[in-house]
Each structure stands twice: as structure tokens, then as C-alpha cells.
Structure 1
Amino acid sequence: MSASVTHMPFAIPDELVGLFREGRVIPFIGAGMSANVGYPSWDDLLECLGESLKRGDLTHDEIVELTGGDRLRVAEYYFLTEGKQVGPLRKEIHGQFKDISPLEFGGYVDLVNLGSQRIYTTNFDDLIERTYRELGLSYVPIATPRDLALSAGDQTEIIKYHGDLTSDPSLVLTESQYYRRLNFDSPMDLKFRADLLGKSVMFIGYSFSDINIRIIWFRLLDMMRGVDQNDLPTSYMVIVKPNPVEELLYRDAGIETVVLDPTGRAEPDTYPILVGDFLYELACRVSDPKIPGSDSPPFVSQTLLRRAESSPRDRMSRLFRHHDPEMLRLSSFRLPEGYIQKALGLFTSETRISEHSIIAAVSLYRSYPEHEELGRFLLRSLVTRVGMALQDSLDIDWDFLGEMHLEPDDKDKVFAKVREELNFHESGFDSELFFAASLLIDISAGKFGASSEEQENASQLLQRIDDLYPDAIEQLSSRGRGAIAEIADSYVPAEDIEGEDGEAPF
């Protein structure tokens, strides 16, 4: 997708974050979420039904016109032309859902990261269920009264409010089926009413024009008139574009709106990115470092990877050590198998070296030490100031890295760093010089693809260090990088220790 969003124009309500952390929010997912992954809209599905189930001389457009554009009546017409059999409609709808992974798109992984124990949806597809499967998580789909009766409540429940394509009797497709559901006396309706007590609902993937949500919400509120309002916290509708009239109407009904594009200027191809960014930002505030109610960190999502890849790489961001929250999260979040190659692919010759990107690289290196690009990134990191973060990492296989090729320019940076440190620290010693010296030891031994000339240069610099600080190189060679700070501390700057005559002892 070529579109991009350079900043977050929306504000996430603190109350919504707090409710999620308390486990008091029920996400209610609409067709807009499915459309974000390229699945057809309800209008598109009806058009497909019209083309495949064509009866008589009427075209789909003519049927739409004759029903006044009422989607439910259009579906009812096709239902009647098939002899009141829902099977042909269900089969055609199922065929429109492509076999794609929801992990490829922003939103679904971060929906899981919110940690809700119940997720409602009016969608017929199985994208939410598939996300749980691909992440290796257990869940219980609920589409029929039997499903409801068998659920023990110890796993995440995915409630298919309008049915599931695996069960024809559960589907709510047509006008007559929809009106029967308006009685709100089915087991699914009673469950929703019970689940709503003390809970907030976050509607996402719907618009103000969705009659579904308007009728569902107002009927439920009508049924719950006797419930104390303190047991009904504010609910939320996440929408893309603002609509001040509808916002006021919904606010009066207890639903606040979160507008992702308050200016109304976003292009349609950025809508999936806006939704993905919203769910990512919300999940980070709710579930970093751990998902509420569990001891597990969140999962890396497509949105996290996209934002890590687009992290600033210009000189000024390096100069000011730009904050890399995505890289830092990459080091602590769980990495789904489907994202491994993408995550490793973040570390290339163009990747900006920062403290957080090094931490992420080390974290990935623990699991994938054989990945060469990752190793090269760590090598490039060694010659930077922030590369010192590697000195305390006992997870680094230095012998493995030593077999890799360090570019001549990078080795020259090591030499220049040592000369600079020596000139500056003639009267003392610090861990930066020791760290650079540890690299010289490897270069002098022919590691990092060092030439004979580079080995000689490294040896000369090591001798200079040893002349100024006796036994420093021997200690470093024998004790290793993990002891750099301790060894450095043993060399007290000369100007801090004066002899009786006021001169330095050495």
C-alpha cells in the first residue's frame, strides 16, 4: 500500500484505555474491518449474489432500484427466488472470502492484543478466529444456542451475532430473518444483554448509516431501562470521518465517538492505516508490557513492523538519538511465526543504528543467530557509541560475529575512535576506550575480515594502550567484554590521584 499516515490525528480517550485495562470493554466488530483486508462490502456481496443467482430478466441494479436501495429487501428477494433456501446464498458469500492471512493487515493482531475475553461481530467471515489460530491462541466461536451452552467461559469467546457460514440456521441475512431478531429474545440477545452489564462496548468497522448498530443499541438500552446507569459505562463508536449531528445523537444514547480523521481530509486508501494505527496505539497503552489478565506480552503486529520500517533514518535523527518505540517493542513483544522474515528484514544496511534498534537486534539474535543481515547490523553497531550496549550482552556469539566481514570504513572508525579516546584520556581511562580496544583485539587477530595492514594498525594501537595502562589489554583478553566496566573502573584518572608533591603518581 503506497498510502501513509505521518502522524496520529486522533485522540484515544483515557477512560477507554482504563476500561480495557480493567477488562470491561467488549469490542463489537463490523464489516469495515473486513473491508480493510480486501473483503467485499455488503453491497458487493449482494451484487455477487445477483450475478450468480440471477432469476428472470431483472438485473441486480434494477432489483436495487425497485427495492429503494434497501439491502435487506434485496437479500430477501434473492432468498425467495432460491425457494427460501439460505444455502445457495451462503455458498456464494463464502466463495467471496479469499484465503488470506489477517496477519498481513493492520488491526487484527492488535485487536487480540487488547485482551478482551469476549469479542462480538456481525461479520460472516472468520478473520478474527483465523487470527487467534495463527497466533496459536485458543478461543470459542459462538454462533448458535448450542455453542453458547457448551462454552465454559475459560477461553476468549468470539460471538458471531448474525451467525456463522458453517451453520445455515444461525445466519441473519434477509429482511425476514433480521426482523425476527428484532424481538431480542434469542439466547444470543440475552447473552449480549448480560455481557453488557458493567461493560463498555467499542464499535469499530461500522458507520453512522449502519441500521444494525442503531437498532441493536437502542433496543438494548430500552430493555435495560431499569439498570442503574453506573452499571453502564460510556461506550464508544470508532469512525473515520466526523459527523457532528450524529455524534450528538449517539452521545445522548451513551455512545461517545472516536474520530480517526477529524479534518475529514484523509484519502480512502489511508482508512485501513488509520484503523490499524488506532488499534495499535490503543493496544500499546493497554497491554504494554503485558496483556491485562495475563503474564504474557502483546504480539508484534503488522502496524508495528510498518512503523519500525519507516522510522526516521536521516542524519539529524541519528544526531539526537531519535526515540525508537517500535524497535524497543520488537525486542519485548511476542513475534508471530508469520512475521519472522519481515522482522529480520528490518535490519539492513539502511537501518538506523540506535540504542533501541540494537536492543531489538540482540533480542532477535538470540533466536536467529544464523541470520547474516542481523549479524552484519550488529557489526556495524559496534563502531558507534550506542554500540557499547552490546558489551554487556552475554547472548552475543562473538566468535560467530568475528567470522563475518566488517567493512574497511567501519574498521577505520574503530581506529579513529581509539586515537580520539587516547588523545582525550591521556590521564585516565573509560569504558568507551576499553570497548574499542576489545574490537582491536579481534581485528589484530584477523577477525572481521581484517587485512594484514589492518591487523598491524590494530596491534600498534593496542601497544600504545598497553604502554599507558599496563595489563589493561591482558585483562581484557582474558576476562572478555563482560568485564569492560569493571576493568575500566580499576584505572583511576591520574588527575584525581595526586602524590605528596602534587604531581601525578605515574
Structure 2
Amino acid sequence: MDIKKLRENNIVDRVEEVLQAAYSSNQAFNAVLDEAEPLAFKSLRDPEHEYLIKVSDALYWVERDAYLDELDHWEGQCQVNQHEAATAFIKVSDQQAVFLDLVDAIRFGRIAPFVGAGLSKPCGYPMWGEALRKIAQKLGGLDVQDIEPLMAQYDYLQAAQVLHETDAEIVRHFIKTEFRQRGAITGPVTLLPDLADGCIVTTNFDTVIEDLFREIKQPLDGYMHGMQAGNNFVQRLLRGERCILKLHGDAGQANTHVFTLAQYQEAYGGAAGQPFAFQNQLPRALRQIFISHSLLFLGCSLEQDKTLDLFKSVVDEAAFEIPDHFALLNEPATPQERARKEARLLQLKIRPLWYPTSHDAEGNPDHSLLEQILRLAIAVARRQVVFG
């Protein structure tokens, strides 16, 4: 076919449009190639005119296989560079074994993220201690100092009980308004779809997780909100459906809240040293996840709390083969504190992976290394990079 007639062929135009779009989608890579001097040659029609062709253009349109080979190499190197800090930290801190076992759990689809308030914090929501103190400030006749001894012991349920008994309506209103939908979803929480395609557990009232999965067209069809009845949650869990267990309930549904000590005891049993009521749906569902998945605790302090008491009761019962669980945790202030906390978690089959935090100019903690470690684990699980 005469080459001039190709200009009149719409099929050729459409093919070139598709190829041009593919080329343009690699702008960062093209910019790296184009750091070299462009190719130059004289015009035959006008010897004083010089054509300049960018290296990326020439390679793409003349030697596309070579272009794609170079692109693969560059992307691989970018992956390595992106994960360099996390890789170095895991090795220097001598935590390779825990990290690689976490990678295996991600690769084989065994992970069930257990999401605490720390993952919703970058999205504008308060931590639990912060929320309780804000409620106290709203209550007339109750000083924040009245709950500080409980806060120091991480006894948030009893602190919430004190607040609730002072004014239950203000507490319910605070939860409904403070944890309503806010701004952009950002931070490590955005990695949840890459970590798990099944069950997610959270202590959070907000809807960040549900909104995230809805945005990527993978809605969480199964759910249980606190003491809410029905929904066949455990059956959906066992079928491997995408589902979410909101242990404290949903902000907009006050009848689902498990926020105070009395509400917890109603939902779980276990009052005054009594055994947990595993015939109740909430502890039954949590136990099922604990024995059938590898939990990955994110944004949780994992200080002594009622959820850990439930896990301890399951371990002590010795009736189930319990898989390894994992936790990404902020490095304690002293080696003694770390050893104490690690020993307690290992008894619960929870293997911690510690990371340090820095602070910005305003004193806010920087947990960016947590996100880098998660990204590295996902990349290694997908065999995008090699850890070694």
C-alpha cells in the first residue's frame, strides 16, 4: 500500500492513538530517558533545518521491545528504591523472621486486618483517649481529671462508663457527630484492599473502611455492628465473603454501640471474672476469626483490654489450633517495657513487629514507617521485589 494513503486510513489513526496513549502513560520513565541529548539529523528539504527527536520517542516508535525491556528494568529499580528504607530497617532491627512470616500470610490470603483508631487518625478522627477527654469536656459537673486515673491504666471501658452515667445522651450525640463521614481517606488504611479480600475487624465507629472499599467497587457485603442481630455474619465469614466486624458498633446506630463497660458485659459476658458468653454472637464471631485467620493489628496500642482478655480465654481453653497473628506496633520507650509487652502478646499467639516513630514540629507522631513496612510486605508477597 502507498505510504501516503495510510494517512487516509482511519484504522491506522486509531492504532496510533492507542499507541500514543500507552506511551504518554509512562511520563516519569520517558523523562528519565529524555535526560540524554535528543537525536538530531538534517532535513533533506532544508539542510539548514535540524530535526530533534527525543530518545523516548525514538526508542518507543522504532524499537518498542527495547523500550519495554528498559521500562521493566526501571520499574523494578523504582520498587527497590521505594522500599529501601523499610528493607534496611527490618534487617537492622533483626525482625526478618516475623516479617517474612507476615509476607507468607498475606501471599496465601490468610490475613484479617484488625484496625484500631490509629488508622482513622490521618482521616480526621480522634484516638480513643482523645475522644473520651473531649466528651468529658462537654459534660457539666465532670472534670477531665475525674477519668485520668482510668485513662492512665488504659481502662477506656470504665472511663466511658463514667461518662455515660453522667449524661448518656451527650455521649450518644458525640459519637454520632464526631465519627460521621469526613474528608479524604488517606494513610495506611488505603492499603487494606491489598492486605485482605475477606474479613476486616475494627474497633472504630467511623465508616472509613466501608467508604474505601465502596470507592474501589468492592463493597463489604457482610457486616456485624456491635450487638446488632442477624446478617448471618459467621456464615458469610466462613464462606470467605468480604465482610466487616465493627466491635464497638456503628456511629450512626446507637443501638449497636458497645462503648461502656456495661454494654461490653452485655455483649460479651465475662463480668466479674465470669467466662465469656460464646453463645452471644459478638464473642462467637470474634473467636471464629481468631482461630481461622491470621489477624494483623494496625493502629492498635494492644495494651491490656477486654478484647485481649477474650483471646486469652480462647488460648487458655486449648481447644483450637490457633494460627500466628501479627501486630505492627510503636516501639515502647524502654527495653524493659518492650520485653514485658512482647511476652504478653506472644502468649496470645500475637507476634509483634516493632517500629520507631518520630515527631513533627507540632509534636504529632509520624507513623510513616508503618506504611512503608506494609507496602514492602505487599510488594514482597506479590513478588514485585525480593527481600534478601
Interval of TM-score (by shorter of Structure 1 and Structure 2): 0.5 to 0.7
Deviation, structure 1 residue 139: 1.1
Aligned partner of 1:7 among 74, 80, 85 = 85
Contact 1:207/1:239 (CA < 8 Å) preserved in 2? yes
Q: Which amino acid aligns with 1:18?
A: D
Could you tell me how far apart the structure 2 residues matched to 1:95 and 1:16 are? Answer: 37
Q: Which amino acid aligns with 2:196?
A: G
CA deviation digits over 1:67-104, x for unaligned, max 9? 8764323311221223xx4x5423212322361121xx
Q: Which has the larger radius of gyration?
A: 1
TM-score (norm 1): 0.49
Aligned partner of 1:80 among 165, 171, 182 = 165
Aligned partner of 2:121 among 20, 29, 35 = 35
Q: Which amino acid aligns with 1:90?
A: R
1:257 aligns with 2:352: yes
Contact 1:111/1:283 (CA < 8 Å) preserved in 2? no
CA deviation digits over 1:16-50, x for unaligned, max 9? 21122222222111112122333211122112212
Q: Which amino acid aligns with 2:255?
A: P
CA deviation digits over 1:340-381, x for unaligned, max 9? xxxxxxxxxxxxxxxxxxxxxxxxxxxxxxxxxxxxxxxxxx
Aligned partner of 1:93 among 175, 180, 183 = 175
Contact 1:49/1:93 (CA < 8 Å) preserved in 2? no
Contact 2:99/2:377 (CA < 8 Å) preserved in 1? no
After superposition, residues 466-481 of structure 1 pair within 5 angstroms as none
Contact 2:290/2:322 (CA < 8 Å) preserved in 1? yes
After superposition, residues 34-433 of structure 1 pair within 5 angstroms as 34-52=120-138, 54-56=139-141, 58-65=142-149, 70-82=155-167, 85=168, 88-97=170-179, 99-102=182-185, 105-140=186-221, 141-143=223-225, 144-148=228-232, 152=236, 153=239, 155-180=241-266, 181=268, 182=270, 183-185=276-278, 186-223=280-317, 225-227=318-320, 231-242=321-332, 243-261=338-356, 269=364, 271-287=366-382
Q: Secondary structure at 1:238's aligned position in 2? A: strand
Q: Secondary structure at 1:284's aligned position in 2? A: helix
Structure 2 spans left out of the alignment, 5+ residues: 1-81, 91-95, 271-275, 333-337
Could you tell me how far apart the structure 2 residues matched to 1:218 and 1:150 are? Answer: 21
Contact 2:296/2:327 (CA < 8 Å) preserved in 1? yes
1:375 is aligned to none
Could you tell me how far apart the structure 1 residues matched to 2:128 and 2:190 are? Answer: 24
Q: Secondary structure at 1:197's aligned position in 2? A: helix
Contact 2:118/2:299 (CA < 8 Å) preserved in 1? yes
Mark the CA change 1:145 to 1:205 in structure 2 (over 3 Å): closer, same or farther.
same
Mark the CA change 1:38 to 1:275 in structure 2 (over 3 Å): closer, same or farther.
farther
Q: Which amino acid aligns with 1:226?
A: A
Q: Secondary structure at 1:139's aligned position in 2? A: coil
Contact 1:202/1:237 (CA < 8 Å) preserved in 2? yes
Could you tell me how far apart the structure 2 residues matched to 1:159 and 1:244 are? Answer: 31
Deviation, structure 1 residue 174: 0.8
Identity between Structure 1 and Structure 2 (%) = 22
Contact 1:101/1:130 (CA < 8 Å) preserved in 2? no
Structure 1 spans left out of the alignment, 5+ residues: 290-324, 326-506
Mark the CA change 1:110 to 1:13 in structure 2 (over 3 Å): closer, same or farther.
same
Contact 1:236/1:256 (CA < 8 Å) preserved in 2? yes
Contact 1:36/1:272 (CA < 8 Å) preserved in 2? no
Contact 1:111/1:279 (CA < 8 Å) preserved in 2? no
Could you tell me how far apart the structure 2 residues matched to 1:288 and 1:62 are? Answer: 52
Mark the CA change 1:192 to 1:39 in structure 2 (over 3 Å): closer, same or farther.
same
Higher-strand-fraction structure: 2
Q: Greater relative contact order: 1 or 2 (C-alpha under 8 angstroms, separation 6 or more)?
A: 2
Could you tell me how far apart the structure 2 residues matched to 1:287 and 1:271 are? Answer: 27
Could you tell me how far apart the structure 2 residues matched to 1:26 and 1:220 are? Answer: 18
